[in-house]
Amino acid sequence: MNITVIILLIANSCGLAWLIYAQLAGRERQQKDIVLDSCALIDGRIAEIAKTGFLTDRFVVPNFILRELQMLADGSDTHKRARARHGLEVAEYLKATYPTKFVLDKSITKPDKTDEQLILLAKKRHARLCTTDYNLNKVAVVEGVVVLNVNELAQTMRPSFLPGEEQELRILQKGEGRDQGVGYLEDGSMVVVDAAAELIGTKQVVIIERSLQTVAGKMSFAHLKQAKRR
């Protein structure tokens, strides 16, 4: 084997090694991180989105977020306790279902202000921040952090309800206006219903009058088709 052939073999080997390295490095660059806060975990829809395969990124859960959820789960407030436990279950699901894409970040051991630390961590990891917290969303955007807000995604995918359309919903609470009741459709949008303040806890068929689209979410106004309790 002459020297020319040896040189060609070495060059081919180096070229192949470089192509493999470039391909692996490209995949590494394409796989980015998504930092999840407590609101995103409690909301839980990030897990449903992950099932669709649209997200190929790593899920980064800061250790201080898990501690925050644990404190709430051990607290005396029944509502907060249930929500926090759900958030912990979502984190556990993501870790079990996507073990190679789940990262528990322990770099921040004593967080001073949670929101600030989340933004700093996202910047440090060149990651996107997933949250449904309206104020954190705004601050992160100003700080130059890309935010994934499931509410905004839901608004984009949400069907439009035309005036006069009937919908069934449960009246859950009183509204701000006199005699108003408030319920939520299956897609999470809020509906303010006239003359429904005394129907809390019942399912009612309502007729949509008009809808408003805001940054914080979608709100519809409706009136009862029937005032009779079910």
Q: CATH number, domain at 175?
A: 2.40.50.140
Distance CA 98, CA 165 (A): 41
What local confidence, expressed as pLDDT, does residue 21 receive? 46
Instruction: Kindly tell me if the per-residue pLDDT of 156 is higher than 90.
Output: no
Domain count, the chain: 2
**Same domain? 141 vs 39:** yes
Beta strands in 185-229 (DSSP E): 190-194, 203-214, 217-224
pLDDT of residue 29: 46
In a domain, 133, yes or no: yes
219 inside domain:
yes
Can you give the pTM of this predicted structure? 0.60
What is the layout of strands, in order, in the sheet containing 102-105?
A: 102-105, 58-62, 33-36, 128-130, 147-148
> Between 172 and 1, whose confidence is greater?
172
Q: Do 95 and 51 share a structural domain?
A: yes
Record the tokens describing residue 86, joined without a space: 């759900």
Are 87 and 148 within one domain?
A: yes
Owning domain of residue 122: 31-156
